[in-house]
Every structure is written in C-alpha cells, then in structure tokens.
Structure 1
Amino acid sequence: MPNPQGTNGYKVSPAPDILIRPLVEQFVADGYTNPEIVTKLKDYYDTDRYSFSLALLKKKRMVWGLKSARGQAHSVDSVGPTIERVRERFPHQGSHDMRVTLRQEERVMVPRQVILDYMNLHHPDEVKGRRKRRLKRSYFWTAGVNELWCFDQHDKWRRFQLFFHVGLEPFSGYVLWLKVWWTNHNPRLICGWYCDVVERLGGMPLITQSDPGTENNGIANGHTLLRHMQDPALDKTLQHTFKGSHRNIKPEIFWGQFRRRWAPGFEALLDWGVNEGLYDADDALQRLVFHYVFIPWIQQELNCFIERFNGSKPRRNSHKLLPHGRPVDIFKNPELFESRNFAVKVHPPYLTEVRDKYAPPDHPVFHLVPPAFSLQARTFWDAANYPQVGRENIWDIYLHLLQQFRDQPNNMELRTVMALSVNSNEEDESEFMPVMELPPHRQRRRVVGDAPQNTGGYSSDEADTDFEYEWTDDSD
C-alpha cells in the first residue's frame, strides 16, 4: 500500500510562493519550457524540505496569469502595436530577436510565425532585404568554458565621442561585459573592466586574447601577473595572445550582430540630435553634459541587450561543433553540455594587488565626468526632478541641463573644470602602457579533425547568416 505521507513518512510541502514566483516569472520570460523550469527551480530551494512538481507549476502559472503563447492567443492584429513599439528602438530586429524582446520586456508570448506574418503584411520590403548570404567560413578553436576570454573594441560611434568594448567567453558565446564609455583606448580602463568581472565570477580564464592594440596591454599585463602569482611555473611566458587582422574571430562576429540587432535605432536617435544642432562633440561643455546624460542610459540599454543575448537559445547550426543551448546555461553549467570549466579560482588579495597596479579605481579614466562637474550636474538634476530617462525625453533633459550650465557664465570653478577636462581627457583617453617583456604564449597548432570531443569551432558565417537576423522562413 503506498505511503500517503511521502517516501519517509513525512509529507513534503511545496516550495513557498514568495520564493518560487519571481523565479518562475523570470524563467518564463527567458523562454524556458515547463520541464526546464522545474529542473532549474531545484537549485533555489531545499529539496529535502520542499518539492515543486510539473503539475503544480502548471497550476501556479494559471493562477499567476503566466500564460504561454497559446494561452495569450495573439493574432497579427493584436500584436501589431507592441511590435511597432519595439521597432522604434530596434528597427532592424529579426523575428527571433523580436520574439525574445516581446517575451522579456513586454511579457508578450507570441509564436514566431505570427511575427513573420505581421512583417510580411506590413513591412514586405524589409523582409525581402533580409536574405541569406553565403560567406567564407573560418574556424575558431577552444577546448571548453573559460579556457579563453576574447576582447575587442568598437569605434563606429566616434563622431558622438562614444566608444564600446566587449569581453566574450567564446566556447559558450557568453558576453562577459559590453561597455560604452568616452574612451576605449586606455589600458587601465580595459583592465579595470576585466578585474570587475574576475571579482564577480571569482575566477579567471587560462588565457586571454585580443587584437594587437595597445589598449589591451592592461589586460595582458594584469592577467599575466595574476596567473604568475597563483602559478609561478608560468612566469616565463605571457599569458595573453595577440591576434592580427581578422583572427580575433568571435568578437568580430559579435560586432556584426551588434550593428544589426541593437545599434541602428539608437544611432538614428543620436544622429537626429547632431543633425538638429543639439550636440557638437567638439564643444567641451556639450560633450560633458552629453556624456553625463547619455552614457548611463545607453549602458542600461546595453545591459538589457546582453541579458537577452546571453539568455537566448540560437537555432542549431550544422557548421558549429560547440554545444547547443543558451550561452548563460553553457557558461554556468558546462558539465550538462559534455564540457568542463577551466576557470582558475582567484585569490582576492592577488586580484587587489593587480588592480592597484594596473587599474587603480581612483584613476581619472574611471570618472564619467570630472568630479566637480558631476557634483554640479547632480545638484541641477535633483533640483529639476527629471523623470526617468528614456528615448522620448533624453534630448529634452540634455538640453535643459545644458542650459543650466550656460546660465552660470561667471562660475569660475566650472570654467576651470572645463579647461582642465579638455587637457585631461586627451591624456587619459589613450595612456600608453608597455606590455610585459616576456615570450608570447604559444599554443600547439590545431587542424580540422585534431580537436578532442569537447572542443568546438565557430564559423564566420554566423555574422550574417544566422537565423536570428532573418524575417523569412527557413524555406526562403
């Protein structure tokens, strides 16, 4: 006779709603299936005290109103206004990205086919423009998670005096950071971002990689010193590899995706302000106000993009040997994908020493604007009680704040800050740091068929032919 009280004679209670509901809402927004959600929830509650079955999850989702795409039953007409609202920010988004954005930001669950039908009906010219292209394929080898981190900079917004930098874990495709700042040429700044991620993760990769630009010397030196401190046997070689033109493949692929999937809508917004004469990057005051207002907002939008990017499962690609799944899942649980984590656990005092040497937190490059200017801007901001910054009002806030500064022509302290900022920015933007004089790290050359089972490759055709960029059906 079955025991009604449970396997050990005690009834196991369901996990409390106050703990489970926020997690379920997030997992649903991330696109996990019900069985996947039940499995992931076990990492967040004591399985000896609580349980949470698939049947209970389905009941809870009904009670909490977390309907699936079938339950929401959207049509081409009903989902249209929401799609157009998203298109204001991401005018060139493909059907896959649109579906993810609708799910995560609008909490709208809709089948991809409905999105395709809407776009073919209302934007047929854009559909025709999104056709598959054949590109030359190249390969990128990596043995597992955290064997290697790759970095690269992006200067396409130089006319706005805005610069980007990305750090990637190539095996999983996980984006470690995506930053916007008023420079990306200072090695101390780049090393600081590396140290931030190492501190957050508690570990570092075996090797780092970048193009030969001197802005990457900070990471090369910092990572090498950190590895040497924890493993003296490595002290004869540089623990960083510099790759020449078109050989730092994964970040180059990412920038191609970034330019298509995120940048166009925001670039158009900034171009409008420049064309209307609202912003001149050569004017010191306008540039400081612009940085103070726009950089935090753009960084917030980038964080949302990366959350979607890391949490989205791409379609299977027969040209890829890497495991298929969401980058965040592969990065955090490589053992579930027949791989392993090569991360080296970091001794915090060593990381502090490296940071103090190569990326001191009080260095001016880490200041959004000069401290005196920031203090005055915060005073104006609090007095004006601006609403939350968004694309609809950001230029208005910028213009109002700019006028507040212009109304103080006799403020000698402000004039001094402006004069100093012009000179200091030029010095801090591209500070030179020599790389350690050590023999370069060299890996055994691999060829196709030489890889072990858990080694994977990326092909450059991902940059343009991945399904994430296409409105068309597979048969097109």
Structure 2
Amino acid sequence: MPNALGKNGRVPAPPDELIRPFIEEFVAKGYHNSEIVSHLRKHYDTDMYNVSIDLLKKRRSQWKLKSARGQAHTIASIGPAIERVRARFPQQGSHDMRQTLLHEEKITVPRALILSYMNLHHPEEVLARKSRRLKRSIYWTAGVNDIWVFDQHDKWRRFQLFLHVAIEPFSGRILWLKIWWTNRNPRLIFGWYCNTVQALSVMPLVTQSDPGSENNGIANGHTLLRHLQDPALARTLQHKFKGQHRNIKPEIFWSQLRRRWTPGFQDILDYGVSEGIYNPDDALERLVFHYIFIPWLQNELDLFAEKFNNVKPRHNLHKALPHGRPNDIFYHPEDFDSRDFSVKVDQSSLDEVRQTYAVPDHPVFLLVPREFFDQASIFMVELGAPPVTRDNVWNIYADLLMCFRLIEENAQIRELLAAQPSLPCDGDKLIGSEDLPVIDFPPFVEGSGPHGENNSNADGSDDAESDFYEFDWTDESDKSS
C-alpha cells in the first residue's frame, strides 16, 4: 500500500521551486541553518511539508549556497574585497565589515579572519577602535509600532545636502533614511511618512520628534489619521515633542551613521568643494550637483539601511529587549514574546490626509525643477548615460555642468536660474523651509494610552508594567576591531 506521508513515513519536503528563493534570500542575509528552517515554516503548509536541518544542508550543497567554512576563504583571498569596502567605509569595524562583505560582496567569512587581516595589514586602525568608550542611555517603549521617532541631520549643510531618518525603536528598524536638498519642509517629511504607512498599511499609536516646524506635518497628519480611525481620540495631539536631546534613538543612530557610513562619502564631497569643482552658492552648479549626487547617495543609504535592518546586533547582557534582526522583530514580534501595537490604515483616510498636508504635486517633492530635469536627462543620454559610481561621480558632474554652461544664456535656463533662491546666512531659514502651525490640541500626555503607568493594551485589557521593555542603546560601532 502506498505511503501517503512519503519516504520512510515522513512528511515530504516542499517543492524546490517553492523554498529555494527563500533559502537563497536567508543565506544572503547571513541566517544560520536553524534560523532558516524556522523562518521557512512561514512560507509553506506545515501540515503538508517539512524541512529539516539535514535536508537544508543537502539543498545548500546542491545549490552551492556555501557557508563561511564552505567558502574556505583565507587572509589572502579576502584582501581585495576588504580593501574595496575600506575605500568606501574607512572606519568600519570587523562586525560591520563582515556584514558588508556578506550583503554587497557576497562573501561569507568569520569575524576572526577579518580581524586577522586587519591586525596584519592595518594594526593602527584596530588599536584606534579599541580605545573608544561606550556611552549608554535608557529608552522605554511598549512594543512594536507603539511609537515611531524622527529626526533631521544637518552635518552636510555646507554641501546643501540634508538627511532625515525615521525609526521604530522597539525593533530598531529603520523606516526610512533619506537625503534631499532640504529636510525643513513639513510637507516633505509627512510625504515620506505617508509613503511608509501606505507600504506597511499600518501606522503607530504615537509619533515623536524634536520641536521644530519641519515636524509639524507629521504631528498634524498622524493626529488626523488617528482621529479618523478612532474618534475617541478627538481633540488630543497624537505626537510627542521631545526637546533638549531627549529624542534618544535617532540621535544615537546619527552617531553610528557618521562613524560607520559617512567618512568615505564625506571625503568625496570634500574633494569637490576643496578643488573648486562645486560651489554651492552657484545656482547652476547646485542644481547639477543635486541631480547627480542625491540619487547616487540615496542608493548608498538604501543599501546601508537594508543591511542595518537585516543584521543581528551583538548580544548585550544589559538589554532587556528581544535580541534579533530588526526586520525579524518588526514583522514577527510574536516570535520574540512581544506585541504589535500598529493601527490599520485604510487608503481613503490616507489619501484624504495626504491631500491636506502633503499634496503630491508640491515642488518640494521634485529633485530639481521639472524643466531642468528634462534638459539634464537629454544631456545624460548624449553623454552615454553612464552609471554613477564613487570613481566617476565628479567626472559625470563636470561633463553635465559643461553641457549646461554651453546653453547658460538660453532664456529658459536664465529664467530658471534666476528663480533659484540664494543660500541663507546663519540665522536665516534654510531653502525649502515652510511654516506649518501645529493643530491647536492639548499635547500628548504621558500616562495616557499604552505609554504610561495607567496602561491599557491594544486588546482593551490592563497589563501594567509587564508590557514595558528597557532599551540600553549601546554604541554598536564595534567594540573589538
């Protein structure tokens, strides 16, 4: 009689075409075999199929998805890849280096081998990193999507580049990491919020930021969305303003970004300014610079955010939160004995609020003026549409600038440049700033909702302190390398 369970009475394995894409994805992200087996169960019917670790090892061998041991790298073989990474990220430690090699070079190596290489070829850098001291601070939140936090970053103002980040602090997941020609327009920031909410189909209970008019769009828009979803919240502001360096998580993130990502790219930008290639005060040069550099740098930031969200931080005994990859905690909090406090958002409500505070055709959402973009695109085709890299970015900028210099006296170009604002002096409002008052509602009060000691959970039950977790935001920029 045929065995309905498959060979040897066991549940059969899923078809290869069903599980192979997920296995390849998990291997590329550095998951261990036990983690892969656990995560695979979410992608097939466990009543019909099963994947064991032995089967996974067999499939990985057949598909040549090798582990660090299987790739058998040596100090000599990893040298070129490490030097390529060091050229982009000169201050990365062994932990970040290992993840960059995995995600971008497709090389799997143990940290010990990277440390051996660095101690042999760059011992002074290892000593410099070991001398750093850790700074700790405490952060509290109830669970996933209990709160989203936002912050802007102006350290590249001299290049007329501005950054903005949104973080879900319970999981540590980066929701967005943007670079633009302004970060002071509340409609722009709320537009990014709307895009993220639309992609996730959920929003948090409360949002939080530093005081500042650039955050008023999120304060107003999120509050209106919450009111539309829950009329019981009417006439209460669903946003917290934290001043005097109390918006802890994004401030620490900027510190990490400046050590782990910024240095190599800042060297490139400094070169253009110091060599006189780029003058931010020149309107034409500024437009060409934004057209070339912002998309390239945004792509690099997207790679950093993707890696950040898929990397498991080192274990920290002082941390009471779940330990895991930010994406795993964010999407599967139940696997970490945690809760998801997110609120479902319907598209009609989101569209209504977007039209109020972030109308899509607002000029702040344009990389450069539309006429300039169209002409620049024509010139780029004439130049052969070369892909932008760190090695040729200034050459492409110079070639495109020369094309515009040849038609600079064109009436349309002259009119366009004349309309460009001059750079502000210290104390003046930055380009792109816009005043948007906060809705005249009582401010968010600590202790009301799931954030205070009189906590009421998403299911309506009271659970006091059991839903609170302690954050110990350790500087994870790599202690040992």
Same fold (TM > 0.5): yes
Contact 1:140 1:457 in 2 (8 A): yes
Shift of 1:308: 0.6
The one of 427, 431, 445 aligned to 1:442: 445
Q: Where in structure 2 are the equivalents of 1:240-279 lying within 5 Å?
A: 240-279=239-278
Tell me whether 1:191 sits opposite 2:190 in the alignment. Answer: yes
Match of 2:107 in 1: 108
The one of 461, 469, 472 aligned to 2:478: 469
Q: 1:291 to 1:240 in 2, by over 3 A?
A: same
Equivalent position SS for 2:328:
helix
The one of 469, 472, 475 aligned to 1:456: 469
Contact 1:144 1:340 in 2 (8 A): yes
Match of 1:118 in 2: 117
Tell me whether 1:280 sits opposite 2:289 in the alignment. Answer: no
Which AA in structure 1 matches 2:434? E
Shift of 1:135: 5.3
Shift of 1:299: 0.5
Match of 1:43 in 2: 42
Equivalent position SS for 2:353:
helix
In structure 2, C-alpha distance between the alignment counterparts of 1:407 and 1:99, rounded to whole Å: 47
In structure 1, C-alpha distance between the alignment counterparts of 2:331 and 2:81, rounded to whole Å: 33
Q: 1:225 to 1:422 in 2, by over 3 A?
A: same
In structure 2, C-alpha distance between the alignment counterparts of 1:313 and 1:394, rounded to whole Å: 33
Q: Where in structure 2 are the equivalents of 1:283-322 lying within 5 Å?
A: 283-322=282-321
Which AA in structure 1 matches 2:59? K
Contact 1:250 1:458 in 2 (8 A): no
Contact 2:5 2:12 in 1 (8 A): no
Match of 1:385 in 2: 384
In structure 2, C-alpha distance between the alignment counterparts of 1:451 and 1:267, rounded to whole Å: 47
Which AA in structure 1 matches 2:174? V
> Which runs of 5 or more structure 1 residues have no equivalent in the other structure?
none
In structure 2, C-alpha distance between the alignment counterparts of 1:262 and 1:66, rounded to whole Å: 28
Shift of 1:327: 0.4
Percent same amino acid at aligned positions?
59
Shift of 1:51: 4.3
In structure 2, C-alpha distance between the alignment counterparts of 1:22 and 1:415, rounded to whole Å: 53
Shift of 1:422: 2.6
Contact 1:3 1:9 in 2 (8 A): no
**Alignment deviations for residues 116-152 of structure 1 (CA, whole Å, 9 cap, x no partner):** 1111111111111112655564321100000000000
In structure 1, C-alpha distance between the alignment counterparts of 2:414 and 2:285, rounded to whole Å: 13
Match of 1:153 in 2: 152
Contact 2:182 2:430 in 1 (8 A): no
In structure 2, C-alpha distance between the alignment counterparts of 1:269 and 1:375, rounded to whole Å: 27
Q: 1:419 to 1:13 in 2, by over 3 A?
A: farther
Q: 1:3 to 1:247 in 2, by over 3 A?
A: farther
Equivalent position SS for 2:43:
coil
Which AA in structure 2 matches 1:414? I
In structure 1, C-alpha distance between the alignment counterparts of 2:275 and 2:480, rounded to whole Å: 33
Shift of 1:38: 2.1
In structure 2, C-alpha distance between the alignment counterparts of 1:443 and 1:369, rounded to whole Å: 42
Shift of 1:13: 5.8
Give RMSD over aligned pairs: 2.4
**Alignment deviations for residues 438-476 of structure 1 (CA, whole Å, 9 cap, x no partner):** 1101112879xx97334222235x23xx3x42343xxxx
Tell me whether 1:217 sits opposite 2:216 in the alignment. Answer: yes
Match of 2:368 in 1: 369
Contact 1:278 1:399 in 2 (8 A): yes
Which AA in structure 1 matches 2:403? Q
In structure 1, C-alpha distance between the alignment counterparts of 2:319 and 2:5, rounded to whole Å: 46
Match of 1:328 in 2: 327
How many pairs does the alignment contain? 465
**Alignment deviations for residues 394-444 of structure 1 (CA, whole Å, 9 cap, x no partner):** 111111111111111331111111112337998861011000111101112
Equivalent position SS for 2:291:
helix
Equivalent position SS for 1:279:
coil
In structure 1, C-alpha distance between the alignment counterparts of 2:422 and 2:191, rounded to whole Å: 22
Match of 2:432 in 1: 429
> Which runs of 5 or more structure 2 residues have no equivalent in the other structure?
454-462
Match of 1:80 in 2: 79
Which AA in structure 2 matches 1:36? E
Which AA in structure 1 matches 2:478? Y
In structure 1, C-alpha distance between the alignment counterparts of 2:417 and 2:14, rounded to whole Å: 57
In structure 2, C-alpha distance between the alignment counterparts of 1:281 and 1:424, rounded to whole Å: 8
Contact 1:95 1:470 in 2 (8 A): no
Equivalent position SS for 1:277:
coil
In structure 1, C-alpha distance between the alignment counterparts of 2:431 and 2:344, rounded to whole Å: 32
Equivalent position SS for 2:420:
helix
Equivalent position SS for 2:130:
coil
In structure 2, C-alpha distance between the alignment counterparts of 1:7 and 1:345, rounded to whole Å: 42
Which AA in structure 2 matches 1:30? K
Which AA in structure 2 matches 1:432? D
In structure 1, C-alpha distance between the alignment counterparts of 2:185 and 2:16, rounded to whole Å: 48
Which AA in structure 2 matches 1:457? E
Shift of 1:237: 1.2
Tell me whether 1:407 sits opposite 2:416 in the alignment. Answer: no
Which AA in structure 1 matches 2:468? T
Q: 1:446 to 1:234 in 2, by over 3 A?
A: closer
**Alignment deviations for residues 212-232 of structure 1 (CA, whole Å, 9 cap, x no partner):** 011100000000011011111
Equivalent position SS for 2:308:
helix
Equivalent position SS for 2:164:
strand
In structure 2, C-alpha distance between the alignment counterparts of 1:423 and 1:213, rounded to whole Å: 23
Match of 2:458 in 1: none
